[in-house]
A and B are shown apart, each in its own frame.
Chain A
Amino acid sequence: MNGYAGKIAKIDLSKGDITDYTLSPQDREKFIGGKTLAAKIIFDSFDHKVEAFSDENIIVVTTSPLTGSTSPCSSRFNISTISPLTGILISSNCGGNFGLHLKKAGYDGLIISGKSKDRVYLEITNDSILIKNADHLWGKNTGEAQTLLGEKNSGKIVIGISGENLVRYSAVISEERAAGRGGVGAVFGYKNLKGIVASGTGTLEFFDKESFKKHNLNWIKQLKAHALTGEQLPRLGTAGLVSVMNFRNLLATRNYASGSFDKFENINGETLAKDFLVKNKGCVTCPIQCGRVVMVNGKEVKGPEVETLALLGSNLMNGDMQTILNANHLCDEYGIDTITFGSSVGLAMELNEKGLWDNGLKFGDHTSLEELVGKVARREGIGNDLAEGTRKISEKYGGGEYAINVKGLELAAYEPRGAQGMGLGYATGNRGGCHLNGGYMVVLEGLGLLADPKTTRGKAAFTIFFQDLMEAISAGGTCLFTSYLVLPTPVLKNPNNLFVRFINGVVPYLGWIVGFVHNNTWMLRFNLKNVLAHPYSIKVVTGFKTNIGTFVDLGERGYNLERLINIRQGIKGSDDTLPKRLTADLQRAADPDSKVKLDQMLGDYYKIRGWDAAGVPTQRRLQKLGLSGYTS
């Protein structure tokens, strides 16, 4: 089967049963893989609301047609489940090597249900799945657990002590990469599942191998020649964004009270590269190599991403890089999402300052940060409250306006009062406050281009387009960084050029065209291999008739399906909102535009999406997307 290993296994941990899940060829082409296929499986598995910590909740691990194909940046896999942090669907995407090995072992995906009586892990080898005792792995952190799982030529995912203790934002770790967001690791822990190890000798078949090879080489060449994927990301990593975020008032600071940090030079990518970087590292098949390797306690470990630098740095008023490196490593070892951890600590500091929670934590005092990671993982002392995330902390202690989450998921490092579209993306993201699932509009509004970040004009249409594009790229199985080719290097490198200034000025006025094209994708029934390489790559790997139009449709289909699951889980239109701090308080007193004007964008967003006033996808839109019969 071109592009696919051909099998998806259903593993019932309660009964110990392992059976095959049947996916029709039509549905395979319609949902492709990754988070979109996982959404289809989760939607079909239930007709009612599901509790995250319940035996009926399922974990869906999926790969994609490009996983293992040698497409650039295609080692990714996805884990979806109902999140214990948000109560809605979470899909968490991860690099590392597990996805490749799972496909080699003969599986495109795994559907894990029930709850094991004993502590177990799964061993998958060449079409065989064994449920094995994990007593010797329990209580071990992610590095040691992976070492104990043995052989080199395999892919592993594990949880750490955090997941075992049901910390609501526990990650699943593969090598040092994390399926970090939304607490997928805690669902593993609830099911007494320590991890999965996969190995095999299977190979992938291609629909048109020669065209794939040629396209692949060109894609890699383009990525290496691009200003972001060929220069900035390899040299500075994602940490290279800290400086520009700071200047653009986009850097989460002091629990999102501000968008800039006076000590940002201590924690930016330049300082990381100059004083702390040992070498670059990247996922398998990645020509970008954005990963950082740094020293912690005399050992080479993974360095921080921009999210971690902000959430454990500026957000806590912490200008000490080494403590961030140390805490980041501890989070990886215990299996903790650094974003939610940093945001929870930031909220705790603010509540302490405001006299709402006497916890001893203070902005600017980083001395207890590393100790706090362990306390959270073990749920000790204040760590037990911090382990619940910002929504539950504020429910207990008050200060909901300072709990910086959407639908229960803490926002990423981008302070949205400096970018209106990013604010809308956070508010409407299916995962909650996620920059990527939210469409990552900040790239157009200040990081790459400068399409007037203060205006709301046109932002709804662009947000939708990019939300759906991100969805489709994830479904296809490549890293989202591969999408940067849509931003030409000359445009990025010459922000003061008259033409570029014209583009920046005109972008908001093009919203209606983008919205029209998004809803009339028959106009996009072609491929632009040098701009958006993914659809053509999927086409030559699988034989599907994929083009830009069907690719955008795929993204929209996935986005709507995820929305339907969330509605079933209780989400309403009123949940498409932001913390009051971001919509009511000005970030800068002298700038009346420095708050997110969500009300000016949400109506357009629903309208272009084809959702009713309550935020529910209409039957007409579902029918257009081939989702007739799918209702919440």
Chain B
Amino acid sequence: MITVKFFGMMGVSSGVSKLEFNEADYPTLDHVLTQIEKDYPSLSKKQTGQSIIFLNNKAIIGGKRLSIALKDGDQLSFLSPAGGG
């Protein structure tokens, strides 16, 4: 099972904080984002793909991030931009 969490404005605005996906059906980040967009149109693939993304607390960035393979137990975290306080 892959756990997906949304933090910051993404979570607050969409009202979605946590989702779960079966890794067999969603082998890559691209698959996960596509499904999220289908289920929650306010979380478009463009938006989630452009957000700050952590896989198991490690930042993933770069053009190939969407093809990263996911496995059972993975935790994906999506964060909206922050500033200061």
A216 to B55, alpha carbons, bound, how many Å? 43
Determine if A487 and B83 form an interchain contact, defined as CB atoms under 8 angstroms apart: yes
Determine if A244 and B12 form an interchain contact, defined as CB atoms under 8 angstroms apart: no
Could you say which of B17, B59, B85 contacts A270, with CB atoms under 8 Å apart? B17
Given the interface contacts A232-B82, A241-B84, does A247 sit within 8 Å of B59 by beta carbon?
A: yes
Closest Cβ–Cβ distance, residue A558 to chain B (whole Å): 20
On chain A, the residues within 8 Å of B71 by CB distance are: none
A268 at the interface (CB under 8 A from B): yes
Determine if B80 and A496 form an interchain contact, defined as CB atoms under 8 angstroms apart: no
Determine if A443 and B83 form an interchain contact, defined as CB atoms under 8 angstroms apart: yes
A171 at the interface (CB under 8 A from B): no
Determine if A273 and B7 form an interchain contact, defined as CB atoms under 8 angstroms apart: no
A442 to B63, alpha carbons, bound, how many Å? 25
Determine if A496 and B65 form an interchain contact, defined as CB atoms under 8 angstroms apart: yes
Determine if A448 and B83 form an interchain contact, defined as CB atoms under 8 angstroms apart: yes
B52 at the interface (CB under 8 A from A): yes
Determine if B49 and A447 form an interchain contact, defined as CB atoms under 8 angstroms apart: no
A273 to B9, alpha carbons, bound, how many Å? 11
Determine if A231 and B84 form an interchain contact, defined as CB atoms under 8 angstroms apart: no
A136 at the interface (CB under 8 A from B): no
On chain B, the residues within 8 Å of A233 by CB distance are: 83, 85
Chain A, Cβ-Cβ closest to B66:
A496
Chain A, Cβ-Cβ closest to B79:
A244
On chain B, the residues within 8 Å of A247 by CB distance are: 52, 54, 57, 59, 77, 79
Chain A, Cβ-Cβ closest to B83:
A228
Chain A, Cβ-Cβ closest to B53:
A496
B61 at the interface (CB under 8 A from A): yes
Closest Cβ–Cβ distance, residue A313 to chain B (whole Å): 14
Could you say which of B12, B61, B77 contacts A235, with CB atoms under 8 Å apart? B12
Closest Cβ–Cβ distance, residue A214 to chain B (whole Å): 27
A:239-255 near B, CB below 8 Å: 239-241, 243-244, 247-248
Mark interface residues in A211-250 (1 if CB within 8 Å of B CB, else 0): 0000000000000000111011101111111011001100
Closest Cβ–Cβ distance, residue B53 to chain A (whole Å): 8
Give the interface size class of chain B. 20 to 34
Given the interface contacts A270-B17, A494-B50, A497-B50, does A236 sit within 8 Å of B61 by beta carbon?
A: no
A:304-359 near B, CB below 8 Å: 305-307
Given the interface contacts A232-B8, A493-B50, A496-B49, does A306 sit within 8 Å of B83 by beta carbon?
A: no
On chain A, the residues within 8 Å of B34 by CB distance are: none
B:24-45 near A, CB below 8 Å: none
Determine if A443 and B50 form an interchain contact, defined as CB atoms under 8 angstroms apart: no
On chain B, the residues within 8 Å of A480 by CB distance are: 84
Given the interface contacts A243-B7, A247-B54, A501-B62, does A273 sit within 8 Å of B83 by beta carbon?
A: no
A268 to B7, alpha carbons, bound, how many Å? 9
A238 to B83, alpha carbons, bound, how many Å? 9
Chain B, Cβ-Cβ closest to A309:
B85
On chain A, the residues within 8 Å of B8 by CB distance are: 232, 236, 240, 243-244, 269-270
A204 to B63, alpha carbons, bound, how many Å? 54
Tell me which of B53, B63, B81 has the highest count of chain A C-beta atoms within 10 A of its own C-beta. Answer: B81
On chain B, the residues within 8 Å of A494 by CB distance are: 50
Could you say which of B11, B13, B61, B85 contacts A501, with CB atoms under 8 Å apart? B61
Determine if A495 and B52 form an interchain contact, defined as CB atoms under 8 angstroms apart: yes
Closest Cβ–Cβ distance, residue B56 to chain A (whole Å): 11
A236 to B7, alpha carbons, bound, how many Å? 11
B3 at the interface (CB under 8 A from A): no
Determine if A484 and B50 form an interchain contact, defined as CB atoms under 8 angstroms apart: no
A386 to B60, alpha carbons, bound, how many Å? 42
Determine if B80 and A232 form an interchain contact, defined as CB atoms under 8 angstroms apart: yes
On chain A, the residues within 8 Å of B80 by CB distance are: 232, 493
Mark interface residues in A257-275 (1 if CB within 8 Å of B CB, else 0): 0001000000011100110
On chain A, the residues within 8 Å of B77 by CB distance are: 247
Which A residues are closer than 8 A to B by beta carbons?
Answer: 227-229, 231-233, 235-241, 243-244, 247-248, 260, 268-270, 273-274, 290, 305-307, 440, 442-443, 447-448, 450, 480-481, 484, 487, 492-498, 501
Q: Besides the contacts A240-B85, A493-B50, what 18 more A-B pairs have beta carbons closer than 8 Å?
A: A228-B83, A235-B13, A236-B8, A236-B12, A243-B7, A247-B54, A247-B57, A268-B7, A270-B11, A270-B17, A306-B85, A440-B84, A443-B84, A447-B82, A447-B84, A450-B61, A494-B50, A498-B63
Interchain residue pairs with CB less than 8 A apart (26) = A227-B81, A228-B83, A232-B82, A233-B85, A235-B12, A238-B84, A241-B82, A241-B85, A244-B52, A247-B57, A248-B59, A269-B8, A270-B8, A270-B17, A306-B85, A443-B83, A443-B84, A448-B83, A448-B84, A484-B83, A492-B83, A493-B50, A493-B80, A495-B61, A496-B49, A498-B63
